[in-house]
A = this chain, B = another copy of it.
Amino acid sequence: MAGHNVTVERTIKALLDDKKYSALKDILVTMNGADIAAIFEEIPKDKTPLLFRLLPKKLAAETFVEMSSDLQELLIKRFSDKELRDVINELYVDDAADLIDEMPANVVKRILAHADPQMRREINEILKYPENSAGSIMTTEYISLKPEMTIDEALKRIRATAVDRETIYTCYVIENRRLLGVVTLKDILLVKDDEARISDIMKTNVIAVHTYDDREDIAKLLSKYNFIALPVLDNEDLMVGIITFDDAMDVLEEEATEDIERMAAMLPSEKEYLRSSVFAIFRQRIPWLLLLMVSATFTGLIITKFENALAAQVVLTAFIPMLMDTGGNSGSQASATIIRAISLGDVGFASLPKVIWKEIRVATLSGMTLAAACFVKISLIDKLLLGNSEVTFLVAFVVCAALAVTVLVSKLIGSTLPIFADKLGFDPAVMSSPFITTIVDAISLCVYFGFASALLLH
């Protein structure tokens, strides 16, 4: 059962200290690769090779793929040639390709030198595809069947080749490297007629992807159809590999993280937070901070332009933060909603008119509610409670009118900019809340001073 990690970790550390390797091995073989890898991250680095050698071959490979790249590199450097060969050739091809992506050049060379020729060829096949493409996350290890096979022959073939296939539950019917159809193991097992052939039960209307398709789109396809795997075809429509649901899940998680980072005005991170260096986090965050700071010059300019007005009616200054924040928040709400809807495939450029019309109505409702609430707040808190005599009803009116207009403008900007960014081929999430806030700031100040000039300052 899950959730006993801390106790198990303590036991393992104690046994390791006491050099009780046989007892240690008995515990490890009952565990999962992912859990063992988590424990490896916690024990002293110099003891990791020792502990790793206690694992049986298959479990060793399962544990290895779940480790951080730092630890993988350390282990590879300590491995004997034989140990390296055992681990590498036990990996699934897509995991081996991921590993090579992460390792420095000298380690890569050693890995490739010790991989089986077949393994090396397949790794190189995957490595030639660009990052984020279907080719880069596919595996070449799938079950292929022939259309003329009987159910019995198919089952025999599945049993004979299952060991090193990433999934055996969806099988691909292939002739001359062309994909004719798919058949699930469930379909095969459900056939009653012993004479039936694979071509009789296969599904020919196959959903397939291409090697250069975006990995995020493919993850969404897998999620939409609830498939265990999708076949990958090359430019000539020949079958080259499959992408399985577990890789799709990882992609969806990574893409959601990237969206969240972009929305908060950061560059995407390379590693998880606690494993990232201070400098890496700094580099991820500083570009947008600098850019947004410099672009705040505009708001400064607007204020400088109305300096005299502000000097005459200093009370106006007190409402600037509230106006700017409410505008910024309204805009962020709209942009976050639309960015996520674009990510999930619910909103596209064709939806622009619908989005604008919806946001106009939401913004009018929100703006009026906020303006009314603001008027009550100013009357009760600023005038009555705090007795600020400078806050006249005319000042309150100017603030509330500016607020309503600001909310409308910011909702429209926040909802439409991500759609335009997407249309132009950018990630819509670069239209981050802070970016939209900066634009909305300038506009809200102009609206505010516009109303103030017209009504208060003569």
Query: In the complex, which of the residues B261, B294, B304, B337 contacts A261, with contact meaning CB atoms closer than 8 Å?
Result: B337
Chain B, Cβ-Cβ closest to A292? B329
Q: Say whether A260 faces chain B, with CB atoms less than 8 Å apart.
A: yes
Q: Say whether A430 faces chain B, with CB atoms less than 8 Å apart.
A: no
Report the minimum CB–CB distance from A305 to chain B (whole Å).
9
The complex places the Cα of A208 from the Cα of B32 at a distance, in Å, of 13
Interface size class of A (residues with CB under 8 A): 35 or more
The complex places the Cα of A381 from the Cα of B260 at a distance, in Å, of 33
Question: Are B336 and A322 in contact (CB-based, < 8 A)?
Answer: no
The complex places the Cα of A168 from the Cα of B188 at a distance, in Å, of 12
Report the minimum CB–CB distance from A271 to chain B (whole Å).
10
Question: Are A300 and B273 in contact (CB-based, < 8 A)?
Answer: no
Question: Are A338 and B296 in contact (CB-based, < 8 A)?
Answer: no
Q: A322-B293, A365-B278 are in contact. Are A328 and B441 (CB under 8 A)?
A: no
Query: In the complex, which of the residues B209, B303, B336, B388 contacts A266, with contact meaning CB atoms closer than 8 Å?
Result: B336
The complex places the Cα of A138 from the Cα of B252 at a distance, in Å, of 22
Among A44-52, A116-124, A194-202, A222-230, the one that faces the other chain is: A222-230
Q: A32-B207, A274-B351, A326-B296 are in contact. Are A434 and B332 (CB under 8 A)?
A: yes
Among A9-17, A74-82, A104-112, A370-378, the one that faces the other chain is: A370-378
Question: Are A272 and B341 in contact (CB-based, < 8 A)?
Answer: yes
The complex places the Cα of A281 from the Cα of B360 at a distance, in Å, of 12
Over the window 309-334 of chain A, the binary record of Cβ atoms lying under 8 Å from chain B Cβ atoms (1 yes, 0 no) is 01100110111111011101110110
The complex places the Cα of A374 from the Cα of B286 at a distance, in Å, of 13
The complex places the Cα of A354 from the Cα of B278 at a distance, in Å, of 11
Residues of B within 8 A of A24 (CB): none
Q: Say whether A453 faces chain B, with CB atoms less than 8 Å apart.
A: no
Q: In the complex, given contacts A256-B256, A296-B321, what are 12 additional A-B residue pairs having Cβ atoms less than 8 angstroms apart? A: A1-B207, A223-B253, A228-B228, A245-B245, A257-B344, A260-B336, A278-B358, A288-B333, A289-B330, A293-B377, A303-B318, A310-B317
13 contacts between A and B (CB under 8 A): A162-B186, A185-B185, A226-B246, A260-B260, A260-B336, A273-B358, A282-B366, A285-B366, A290-B369, A292-B326, A296-B322, A296-B325, A303-B320
